[in-house]
Amino acid sequence: MESLTEGALYRNTLRTLESAGDLIKINANALERLKLPRRAVIVSVPVKMDDGRVQIFPGYRVQHNQTLGPFKGGLRYHQSVNLSEVAALSMLMTFKNSLLGLPLGGAKGGITVNPNLLSMNELEHLTRRFTTELNPFIGPDKDIPAPDVGTDSQTMAWMLDTYSMDSGFSQTGVVTGKPIEIGGSHGRECATGLGVVYTIEKALATRNRKIQDAKIAIQGFGKVGMHVAIEAFALGAKILAVSDVSGAIYHPEGINITQLKKYIDENKVLKGFPNAQGIDGEELLELDVDVLAPCALDGTINSTNVDRIKAPIIVEGANGPVTMNANDELCKKGVLIVPDILANGGGVVVSYFEWVQDIVWLFWQEDEVRQKLKTIMYRSFDTVWNFAQEKQENLRISAMGVSLQRLEKAMKLRGQAW
């Protein structure tokens, strides 16, 4: 198991798990069971490239825990994907689903590949072969993948089609994040970002502030960060800075996100946007704003830059963007950090809605999806906040504590690890 647990994200997650376990005095056997996944699947994915050669890509699917229901979690295509990262993310999915009150377990998957270097034809072949390799381990009542970094609704459409061909009939519930035309849900594309915005509203309310009066910096302008910006801007927030792979931009009076979205649709990246000034990516993290929303990759706020972070509220749109050491230092200074398992839960909530709609073949309109999502995000924040006040603990440990209480009770009722 050494390669499984050696990554920084996995170690950080274990530290949070152990701290929260101590806080709620979790059963020792249950704690040990939750430290390791139930199953880790490693596959080789051969793809015939457009130039005729065959290239082999390593693929992973880690299924952490299914005490509460079928495994559920995203699938990412990125050159840094490895077993330890996927295992850590699968563990976080278990805790996230438990915290949000969903009847789902935790899983995560990925392929070590830079999707930007592959043609659409190669990406389709990669996805279909990966789906075939995972076929015995996924399904509507087993494990339901979803989009993540480097994947999208088209990826899910290919997975659905491949799995359905092997089954002999259409199985729309095997994946979520699909196009609406083939069983997807309204509101799924913006769900994670919208959930972050609902969380920002609740976090600001603890300081007697409203989002309409807030200045926000957003690291990342991808699937999560872009929708955080769009939804917060629509509510009247000032988005002072955003970033993507091309760099960061800043405007002291706020960036017009509608104009920026149009610019990116035409130019693919935000670099060169005329109505803002370019800044360094690290500068964005260190801006004096009301809310900092890191929505890129893990570990971006760490021991090297923690002393320069000025935002009084940090809402984690990405998975693990604040390391445990940085989290401890910032909490000592009174910074309110809303952890990833709470803040970015909107995506899995609406994925759950999509899965339910696919099972019963009854679909909801977007306003209904948004209202149901808002109810769950608000309720989950309140539960964690009240727990934190009662225990005099930070939100990261408190969110994990709330999650573990539900998991421990379910494991005890099922007779697991006792």
Is 90 exceeded by the pLDDT of residue 3?
no
- Residue 7 is predicted with a pLDDT of 87
Q: What is the pLDDT of residues 164-187, one digit of tens each?
A: 998 999 999 999 999 999 999 999
Is 70 exceeded by the pLDDT of residue 84?
yes
- Residue 2 is predicted with a pLDDT of 55
Query: What's the chain's average pLDDT?
Result: 95
In CATH terms, the fold of domain 2-170 is: Rossmann fold (3.40.50)
Same fold for the pair 2-170 and 191-338: yes
Query: pTM of the predicted model, to two decimals?
Result: 0.93
Percentage of the chain modeled with pLDDT above 70 = 99
> pLDDT category, 417, cuts 50, 70, 90?
low
> pLDDT category, 319, cuts 50, 70, 90?
confident
> pLDDT category, 6, cuts 50, 70, 90?
confident
Q: Which residues are catalytic?
A: 108
- Residue 138 is predicted with a pLDDT of 98
Q: How far is the CA of 165 from the CAs of 128, 135, 159, 172, in angstroms?
A: 11, 11, 10, 12
Q: What is the pLDDT of residues 334-384, one digit of tens each?
A: 999 999 999 999 999 999 999 999 999 999 999 999 999 999 999 999 999
- Residue 327 is predicted with a pLDDT of 94
Going from N- to C-terminal start, the domains of the chain cover 2-170, 191-338
Contact predicate 104/85, CB 8 Å:
no
Select from 1.10.645.10, 3.60.15.10, 3.40.50.720, 3.20.20.70 the CATH code of 191-338: 3.40.50.720
- Residue 418 is predicted with a pLDDT of 64
Token couple for 98: 């438990």
Q: What is the pLDDT of residues 189-240, one digit of tens each?
A: 999 999 999 999 999 999 999 999 999 999 999 889 999 999 999 999 999 9
